[in-house]
């Protein structure tokens, strides 16, 4: 699972195996180990919500996604789920969780578990 953070936005990209695992277990996590601390980022399926939610507690970013969306995601054509979470009168958090596609450009990254890029099929 890849994470991209910029300003008040967070984007998670999941491979086929990660999307399947999320559907089966309801959770998927990764971590970045720094010399003095560890950042954990997690996506969790949650019952009784209709839109994504987020939290940041004890060095862990957690994105909550409606459980029904997780269960259907491996077998449907939906690329991603997007939501803007209102924080207060002046701030909001943009959340995007999407399937990770094979890059169109050359890369050294292993992309064998990524989804086929729809632009490559044209």
**pLDDT above 60: residue 122:** no
CA neighbor of 14 nearest in space, from 86, 73, 92: 73
Beta bridge partners of 3: 12
Q: 48-66: per-residue pLDDT in tens?
A: 999 999 999 999 999 999 9
**pLDDT above 90: residue 101:** no
**pLDDT above 90: residue 34:** yes
The pLDDT assigned to 68 comes to 94
Check residues 120 and 22 and name the one with the higher pLDDT. Answer: 22
The pLDDT assigned to 113 comes to 67
- Token match 């044209």: residue? 122
Percent of the chain with pLDDT over 90: 73
What integer is the mean pLDDT of 4-26? 94
The pLDDT assigned to 108 comes to 58
> What residues contact residue 74 under an 8 Å CB cut-off, 6+ apart?
16, 19, 20, 23
Beta bridge partners of 64: 44, 53
102: which 2 tokens? 């094979």
What integer is the mean pLDDT of 15-40? 95
């Amino acid at each position: 699972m890849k994470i991209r953070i910029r300003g008040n936005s967070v984007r998670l990209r999941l491979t086929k195996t990660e999307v399947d695992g999320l559907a089966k277990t309801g959770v998927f996590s990764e971590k970045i180990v720094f010399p003095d601390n560890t950042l954990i980022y997690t996506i969790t399926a949650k019952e009784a919500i209709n839109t994504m939610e987020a939290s940041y507690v004890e060095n862990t970013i957690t994105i909550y996604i409606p459980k029904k969306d997780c269960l259907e995601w491996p077998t449907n054509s939906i690329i991603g789920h997007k939501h803007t979470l209102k924080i207060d009168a002046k701030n909001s958090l943009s959340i995007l969780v999407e399937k990770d596609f094979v890059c169109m450009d050359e890369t050294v990254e292993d992309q064998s578990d990524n989804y086929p890029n729809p632009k490559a099929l044209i």
